[in-house]
Amino acid sequence: MNLISPNPCFPHRPRRQVLIYALLLLAATLLAACGGGDKVALDEDGCALTADATLATTQTGPLCRGKVNFHDRQLVGQGGNGRSCADCHSPSDRFQLSPAKAQARLAAMTATGIDDPLFRAIDADDFRILGAAARDFTNLTVNGLVRVTMPLPANVKLLDCGATVPCPASAQPTAETQADIWRAVPTILDTRITGPDGQAPAWPRGANPSGGYQLDGRIDTLQNQALSALRNHAATTADPPVLFLDDLATFQGSMFSSPSVKLLADAMGAGAATLPDPDPVLNNLELVGKTVFNRACAQCHGNLGAHPSGSAPIRQGIAGTPTALVRYHDIITACPRPADTMSPPRFVFAACSPSQMRNVRTYQITNSGAAPSGTPCGGAAPQPACVTRVTTSDPGRLLITGYPAAGGPGDIQKMDIPSLRGIAQTAPYFSNNTAATLEEMLEHYKQFFKRVQMQNPAAPLLTTQPGVTPPVIDRPFTDAETAALLAYLRKL
């Protein structure tokens, strides 16, 4: 559902609010026209600064107005809890939120007594128990995660076992109608080459089948993303004018991890037949790493095909024939993670920490045989059971569609594929910040590939040499290739 009114006059918004915003824009224009001969100081984005070198609240262009909106804690006419976009998407933290940044801000607030709007009860672990009095910010400061609250689909219920693993068979559904998910704050850099791209592969169901915003791809535009954040994280009580959101989108769409990525985005926006390679000059080790990346990682993380921002074809079957991967993936980063029952184990994922395990809940999914599954249940094999239970810290797109594993791959724990540009600057990694370093991220993928190979040795995710029997598993990177791959990732 489009959250923004298609009517530019905003008839359902308070007239006073629209008038206030229009007067602010008029003041900015008059200031620019009547500024006399004094030269106005500009920041790195070309936005006007005040005499004390802070961002001026009156700006003329949409990018600079959007930058003001991004940093605005007052949100006049909108209500709110004192937060700005920049409180979570910290400019000094590459527009994301790392645990270290959150820890430093909590320490500063404690030492000075000066309120920091990052720490609001809605993002406290104990908010559902203590409400406005909640003060346990473990997820923010230890894990760098914020609360995302989503309605439960009609066929999905939470069970009353809390974070107990395993959830007892006797557990019963609760009366809860929404789920609290704890997710990382992604950077806004390079948003112009993320989001819906209109390219294959498309997901077969749910919102934004060709990609979207948020970690699960559930939002269609930057404007709607900002509106959702204002409502849910800044706790606004009145929506801003359309122009406010458009300016925010312009600002976000102007932020890039490097000038070369901006050139790529410009070329993509212009529909160029040949896209520039955004990589910088690479040394020999990095060039080797790029070759490894293109074999092991690029099928999902771009760098191949006509749209390097998103999924690209994996080559299988007839040599040179592209067959698209699915759009959304589960790479086993949610908690708890699977463990191999063989001894010695064939794969070993890093265990989730106690604070990460606190975010686990068990979901009961009813597969009625009607939508969303469409597969009869309860009969003899291969019909699935009518009820599926899943214990996870993040159900992913399941909370959008309610589609279980029965009758297909399902949407459980499926998430969008992020761009890796500037990845060396945006630790920690994954949607729940469970990999602190690039080394930990690659180790996770080593175990992921081992598990896929164990489950399905002929999986197209692994087989890249066509027509070979038995299949040759040559997509995963080796220990000997790790140093080169790390060198390339650090250059992206």
Nearest Cα to 469, choosing from 456, 454, 455, 458?
458
- Number of H helices and E strands in the chain, helices first, is 15, 7
DSSP 366: E
Q: Is residue 52 part of a domain?
A: yes
Structure tokens at 406: 């029965």
Question: 312 pairs with which residues across the strands?
Answer: none
Q: Is residue 39 part of a domain?
A: yes
pLDDT in tens, 156-171: 999 999 999 999 999 9
Predicted confidence at residue 405, as pLDDT, reads 74
State the CB neighbour count (10 A cutoff) for residue 41. Answer: 12
Predicted confidence at residue 1, as pLDDT, reads 29
Three-class SS of residue 55? strand
C-alpha torsion sign, points 194, 246, 227, 75: positive
Domain coverage including residue 67:
1-93+221-227+235-254
Length of the chain: 492
Q: Is residue 138 part of a domain?
A: no
Nearest Cα to 488, choosing from 447, 432, 442?
442
Question: 435 pairs with which residues across the strands?
Answer: 429
Q: Is residue 195 part of a domain?
A: no
DSSP 295: H
Nearest Cα to 300, choosing from 271, 320, 330, 257?
330
CA distance linking residue 195 with residue 208, whole number of Å: 9
Question: 388 pairs with which residues across the strands?
Answer: 365
Predicted confidence at residue 463, as pLDDT, reads 67
Going by C-beta distance under 8 Å and a sequence separation of 6 or more, which residues neighbour residue 304? 294, 298, 312, 313
Q: Is residue 14 part of a domain?
A: yes
Three-class SS of residue 390? strand
Q: How many domains does the chain have?
A: 1
Predicted confidence at residue 372, as pLDDT, reads 59
Q: What are the residue ranges in the chain where pLDDT is below 70?
A: 1-38, 303-325, 368, 370-374, 406-408, 460, 463-471
Q: Is residue 309 part of a domain?
A: no
Q: Is residue 55 part of a domain?
A: yes
Three-state secondary structure readout of 154-198? CCEEEECCCCCCCCCCCCCECCCCEEEEEEECCCCCCHHHCCCCC
Predicted confidence at residue 11, as pLDDT, reads 37
Predicted confidence at residue 27, as pLDDT, reads 53
Predicted confidence at residue 467, as pLDDT, reads 66
Q: Is residue 78 part of a domain?
A: yes
